[in-house]
Amino acid sequence: MELNLKNKVFIVTGGSKGIGEAISRAIAAEGGIPVIASRSIEATKNLIADLQKQGSESYAVLGDLQEEAQCKKVVQKTIKNYNRIDGIVNNAGVNDGAGLEKGPEAFRRSIQLNLFHYYDLVHYALPYLKKSKGAIVNISSKVALTGQGGTSGYAASKGAQLALTREWAAELLPHSIRVNAILPAEVMTPLYRKWLDSFDNPSEKEARIIANIPLEKRMTTSEEIAAMTVFLLSDKSAHTTGQFMVVDGGYVHLDRSLT
Angle of helix 116-132 relative to helix 68-82, nearest 10 degrees?
20
What Cα–Cα distance (Å) separates residue 176 from each residue in 189, 202, 240? 33, 46, 11
Q: CA-CA distance, 205 to 197, in Å (whole number)?
A: 9
**What is the spatial order of strands in the sheet that 87-90 belongs to?**
59-62, 33-38, 9-13, 87-90, 135-139, 178-182, 244-245
Provide the annotated active-site residues.
Answer: 154
Contact 161, 118 (CB under 8 A): yes
Which residue type occupies 229? Answer: T
